[in-house]
């Protein structure tokens, strides 16, 4: 079997697929790309058993065949080529020969039949979302998901689809982000938990994309199809915690402030905070916000005063500065609002401006106990 393909076109596709391959695979066959040729259509796949991603490429050929080619070796070789046509020839002596304008390169291949087959979804439900909307939903939530192996349900992003809209939620029990789109809806209600690795891959591929993404899902797997690419991944098994129960409904104290100013101030002051708790203190009275931190062990302390718009009772509340920084960093608005009820109840951070119509972001951050 042989085919001809553009070097940069192939590299671009393989770099996307290569993101799924682990550095240390339990099955050696997973260190390869599967090349499945059928006439002028070449389907290349990569897998880590949990997730399989494949792309259709247009090539010059009229043959058929299936081989597995070592991924790392092929990517390292392709990166060095300027744009040119490459001819791949599968020889009988178990090597694949790549011919470029200036040379020939032979690498060993494995039998294509050994590559694990992707799961076929039985009776899936489906929803269509624009690529960029999905990428935004992932990037707005994924940073808040946990890394705790003992609580696998929290290590992914919760997708909640209904006829009213789509909701994406992530939490690690210290912070929570809920992202809602009311301008997109599903034909029926469904919920599932997506693992982080395939989501990070989708986020990278779909950012800024106007392609329609078809999401199909059943109890155990989800499949994302767009623009000649397909990704099938196993869902995280388990029941997602009732996140609505932890979002406080009555928050009479509301602070509105310039996001960048607040972020920079928190960043600066947190340098002086305790290295284990990262605790900073917000003291709000009238139109003044006082941000302070202290590390008693080293006699380090810092304090800044900012003007803000505040409605509510005077209060003092403590937060972990790392969570606050992450959240403020993830928002793109000019102004943010922080709504609170009591110093021991979660604060709710929301953007004041810069949202599309039908788009909502709610971020919840747990306070830390202040030792007065």
**Which pLDDT band, with edges at 50, 70 and 90, does 163 fall under?**
very high
Largest CA distance in the chain: 81
Q: pLDDT, tens digit, for every residue of 271-286?
A: 999 999 999 999 999 9
Q: Taken in order 134, 137, 140, 145, is the CA torsion positive or negative?
A: negative
CA torsion sign for 121, 125, 129, 135 is negative
CB-CB contact of 130 with 210 (8 Å): yes
Q: Could you give the percent of the chain with pLDDT greater than 90?
A: 95
Q: Tell me, what's the pLDDT at 371?
A: 74
- Given a cut of 80, is residue 372 above it in pLDDT? no
Looking at residue 248, its pLDDT comes to 93
Contact criterion met (CB below 8 Å) for 160 and 188 = no
Average pLDDT over all residues of the chain: 95
Does the structure show a pLDDT above 90 at 370? no
Summarize pLDDT for 102-144 with one digit per residue, the tens.
Answer: 999 999 999 999 999 999 999 999 999 999 999 999 999 999 9
% of the chain residues with pLDDT over 70: 100
Q: Which domains does the chain have, with CATH numbers?
A: 2-114 (3.10.150.10), 125-244 (3.10.150.10), 248-368 (3.10.150.10)
The confidence score (pLDDT) of residue 149 equals 86
Residue 147's pLDDT is what?
Answer: 94
Backbone angles phi, psi at 253, to 5 degrees: -95, 115
Q: What is the rounded CA–CA span in Å between residue 197 and residue 192?
A: 15
The phi and psi torsions of 262 (rounded to 5 degrees) equal -65, -45
Q: What is the pLDDT of residues 33-57, one digit of tens each?
A: 999 999 999 999 999 999 999 999 9
If you ran DSSP here, which 8-state letter would residue 149 be given? T
């Amino acid at each position: 079997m042989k085919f001809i393909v553009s070097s940069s076109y192939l590299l671009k596709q393989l770099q996307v697929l290569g993101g799924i391959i682990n550095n240390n695979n339990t099955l050696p066959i997973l260190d390869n790309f599967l090349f499945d040729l059928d006439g002028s259509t070449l389907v290349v796949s990569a897998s880590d058993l949990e997730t399989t991603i494949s792309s259709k490429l247009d090539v010059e050929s009229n043959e058929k065949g299936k081989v597995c080619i070592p991924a790392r070796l092929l990517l390292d070789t392709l990166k060095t080529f300027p744009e040119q046509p490459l001819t791949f020839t599968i020889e009988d002596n178990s090597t694949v020969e790549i011919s470029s304008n200036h040379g020939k390169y032979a690498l060993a291949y494995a039998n294509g039949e050994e590559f694990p087959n992707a799961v076929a979804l039985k009776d899936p439900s489906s929803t269509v979302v624009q690529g960029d909307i999905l990428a935004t939903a992932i990037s707005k939530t994924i940073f808040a998901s946990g890394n705790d192996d003992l609580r696998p349900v929290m290590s992914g992003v919760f997708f909640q689809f209904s006829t009213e809209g789509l909701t994406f939620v992530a939490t690690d029990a210290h912070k929570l982000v809920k992202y809602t789109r009311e301008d997109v809806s599903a034909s029926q209600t469904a919920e599932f938990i997506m693992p982080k690795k395939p989501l990070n891959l989708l986020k990278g591929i779909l950012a800024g994309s106007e392609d329609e993404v078809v999401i199909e899902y059943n109890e155990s797997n989800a499949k994302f199809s767009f623009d000649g690419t397909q990704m099938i991944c196993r869902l995280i098994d388990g029941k997602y915690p009732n996140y609505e129960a932890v979002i406080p409904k009555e928050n009479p104290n509301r602070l509105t402030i310039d996001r960048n100013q607040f972020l920079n101030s928190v960043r600066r002051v947190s340098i002086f905070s305790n290295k284990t708790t990262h605790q900073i203190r917000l003291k709000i009275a009238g139109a003044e916000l006082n941000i302070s931190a202290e590390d008693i062990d080293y006699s380090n302390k810092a304090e800044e005063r900012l003007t803000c718009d505040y409605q509510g009772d005077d209060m003092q509340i403590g937060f972990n500065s790392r969570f606050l920084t992450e959240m403020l960093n993830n928002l793109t608005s000019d102004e943010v609002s922080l709504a609170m009820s009591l110093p021991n109840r979660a604060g709710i951070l929301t953007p004041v401006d810069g949202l599309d119509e039908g788009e909502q972001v709610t971020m919840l951050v747990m306070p830390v106990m202040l030792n007065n």
